[in-house]
Amino acid sequence: MPTATVEDYVKRLYLEQERIEPGALVQPGRLAAAMGVVPGTVTTMVRTLADAGLVHYELRAGVRLTEAGERLALHVLRRHRLVEQFLVKVLKYDWSEVHEEAEHLEHVISEKLLERIDELLGRPRFDPHGDPIPDAEGQIESRPNRALSGCVAGEKLRVECVTAQDAEFLTFARENGLSPGNRLTVVRSDRVAGTVEIRRRDGKTTTLSHRSAESVRVSDAG
Ligand SMILES: [Zn+2]
């Protein structure tokens, strides 16, 4: 069985790959920053992952998951996101506090318990943050979405997911109508000031920094 560290690396690599061009390599520095470790640690780990057949690695150029690596990453994401959904739906956790719990539980939950949770929840397709939950075969749904930071005044949007995971921002997001499924209109997007102002359905407005708005993924609200 892969260690928790191996699982964390392949999961993080999968999430980083999603943010760059399909097929491109993730730069080791980027992976190090995402993992919160020094580049040397990543280099050592990437070699271990390459030996295990989980990543394809080109010296200095970067790294990407092999098919086996992607399978493992999707399985870890499935465990993580199903656990989050379970904590919110059944145990009534707030969506801003489930990530930390899921970070631990994703490595230890048994297949049997996972299957029971999936069944109990009616095989949900999305987690509380709006991220898709891979199914048992590793199939994952993707809804076309883009960052709120790139939207312009007048656009009517639906929040698909919030990619930031820190509890403080998630609480802010919830309190300001930025939970997945919520609808909003862009009032103003000011590139120079670096701010985006949005209006919720109840008429209240909120201003976000462009940086925060980057982690709010939206789609057109038809
Ligand atoms: Zn999470």
Distance between Cα 45 and ligand 1 center (Å): 23
Residue type at position 14: Y
> Max CA-CA distance within the chain?
55
Span from the CA of 59 to the centroid of ligand 1 (angstroms) = 31
- The model's pTM is 0.77
The rounded Å distance from CA 29 to ligand 1 centre is: 23
CATH number among 1.10.10.10, 2.60.40.420, 2.60.120.10, 2.40.33.10, domain 4-65: 1.10.10.10
- The pLDDT score that the predictor gives to residue 222 is 64
Distance in Å, CA 153 to ligand 1 centroid? 31
Same fold, 4-65 and 146-220: no
Mean pLDDT for all residues in the chain: 92
49 alpha carbon to ligand 1 midpoint, in Å? 23
Superfamily of domain 146-220: Ferrous iron transport protein A (FeoA) (2.30.30.90)
| Residue 97 alpha carbon to ligand 1 centre in Å | 9
pLDDT at 74 over 70: yes
Q: Residue 148 has what pLDDT?
A: 95
CA of 99 to the centre of ligand 1 (A): 4
Q: Percent helix, strand and coil across the chain, each rounded to 5?
A: 45, 20, 35
Question: Which phi and psi angles does 136 have, rounded to 5°?
Answer: -60, -25
Residue 71 pLDDT grade (very low, low, confident, very high; cuts 50, 70, 90):
very high
pLDDT (average), residues 61-65: 94
Give the start-to-end residue ranges of the domains of the chain.
4-65, 146-220
Say what the pLDDT of residue 32 is.
94
Query: How far, in Å, is the centroid of ligand 1 from the Cα of 85?
Result: 10
User: Could you tell me the CA-to-CA distances from 121 to 125, 138, 171 in Å, in that order?
Assistant: 10, 18, 24
- The answer for residues whose C-beta is within 8 angstroms of residue 37's C-beta and 6 or more apart is none
* Beta-ladder partners of 183: 158
Span from the CA of 96 to the centroid of ligand 1 (angstroms):
9
How far, in Å, is the centroid of ligand 1 from the Cα of 141?
Answer: 17
Bridge partners (DSSP) of residue 56 are 64
Distance 165 CA to ligand 1 centre (A): 6
Q: Identify the weakest region by mean pLDDT among 19-28, 53-62, 126-135, 185-194.
A: 19-28
